[in-house]
Amino acid sequence: MSDSIWGYQPTTGHIAGTDLTGYKVEATDGSIGKVDKHSDDVSSSYLVVDTGVWIFGKHVLLPAGTVKTVDQAERKIYVALTKDQIKDSPEFDKDKHVGDAGYHEQVGGYYQNRRA
């Protein structure tokens, strides 16, 4: 599987090192929550999004390759996914997401097939 799903595309406007914590996250069909934590690690960049009450406090792991645009002025991140695609994503597992290549393959595979 390509690591491109785990890297920001050059067209997103994201500047490595920018703190995205607290940025609002917008799916193609509306707001899904805000960034709880993120990483700019090469081949392992991601956002952890707190969906709040939208899906009952679920946290989701979004690979950086799903990001379309980062709007620094508005503090918003636009992703190339629908709310349902995010809602149906594999559950975020804080214990597995660091150091478990199989978990990253599972999450990455889910999103690889759904990017708009």
Listed by start position, the domains of the chain span 3-112
Query: CA–CA separation, 58 vs 23, rounded Å?
Result: 17
Residue 30 vs residue 52, higher pLDDT: 30
Sheet holding 30-39, edge to edge: 59-63, 46-50, 30-39, 24-27, 76-79, 67-71
- For domain 3-112, the CATH class is mainly beta
Q: What is the pLDDT of residues 39-59, one digit of tens each?
A: 998 888 999 999 887 666 789
Q: What is the pLDDT of residues 55-105, one digit of tens each?
A: 667 899 999 999 999 999 999 999 999 999 998 888 888 888 877 778 888
What pTM was computed for the model? 0.90
